[in-house]
Chain A
Amino acid sequence: SQTIHQWPATLVQPVGSPLSLECTVEGTSNPNLYWYRQAAGRGLQLLFYSVGIGQISSEVPQNLSASRPQDRQFILSSKKLLLSDSGFYLCAWSVGPNTGELFFGEGSRLTVL
């Protein structure tokens, strides 16, 4: 069966520090991968999605970036965090693009101080 792992679960970082959140999927090949952010009291905001290795589409201009170095690995990064980067980050995968049926990781809670 397919599983998705996301880490770290919780992160507290000072403003200006770097960020790396990792996500891996097991049990499937060539998944579509997504990074969402969920700010307090808001819905889900799609940040990045990837249909294949090295293929990244950015939905919202910001100081975050994403990379897909391997088929089932998706990394969210920042060189310098801002206070506004605080939130709950969710990685997800789907079998095909825009299927609507997404499988989510457990999330990473980022607090920038």
Chain B
Amino acid sequence: AQSVTQLDSHVSVSEGTPVLLRCNYSSSYSPSLFWYVQHPNKGLQLLLKYTSAATLVKGINGFEAEFKKSETSFHLTKPSAHMSDAAEYFCVVRPMNRDDKIIFGKGTRLHILP
């Protein structure tokens, strides 16, 4: 069975310091993986996606993620946090078997300290 685990429910970083949001997945096949961002009382917006091309994926707003099959991870990073990055982030896995549903992680809330 497929699953996705976001290892931290809350992450706090100071403005200007690096961001790391962790995501591990479990899938019988090579999945497609996504990161979404949700600002308060807003819908979700796609940050980036991995679909079996380059393992290092660059997204919007300076975020990137690296697919590591050996570690079954897809961690989201940003070199320097900005106050506007404060939001909730969701890791999503779409199994290659299209009969299986898209799976959302429980989310990580990112706090940016001034």
Contacts and interface: CB of A to CB of B under 8 A. Distances in A.
Chain A, interface residues (CB within 8 Å), range? 20 to 34
Contact of B98 (A6, A46, A98, A107): A98
Contacts of A90: 43-44
Interface residues of B, number: 23
A43 interface: yes
Contacts of B105: 43
A92 B92 CA distance: 14
Nearest to B33: A100
A101 B100 contact: no
A101 B42 CA distance: 17
B24 to A, nearest CB: 15
Given A43-B107, A59-B101, A101-B46, 18 more contacts: A6-B43, A42-B106, A43-B106, A88-B41, A92-B44, A97-B98, A98-B98, A98-B101, A100-B33, A100-B34, A100-B92, A101-B34, A101-B49, A104-B43, A106-B43, A107-B41, A107-B42, A107-B43
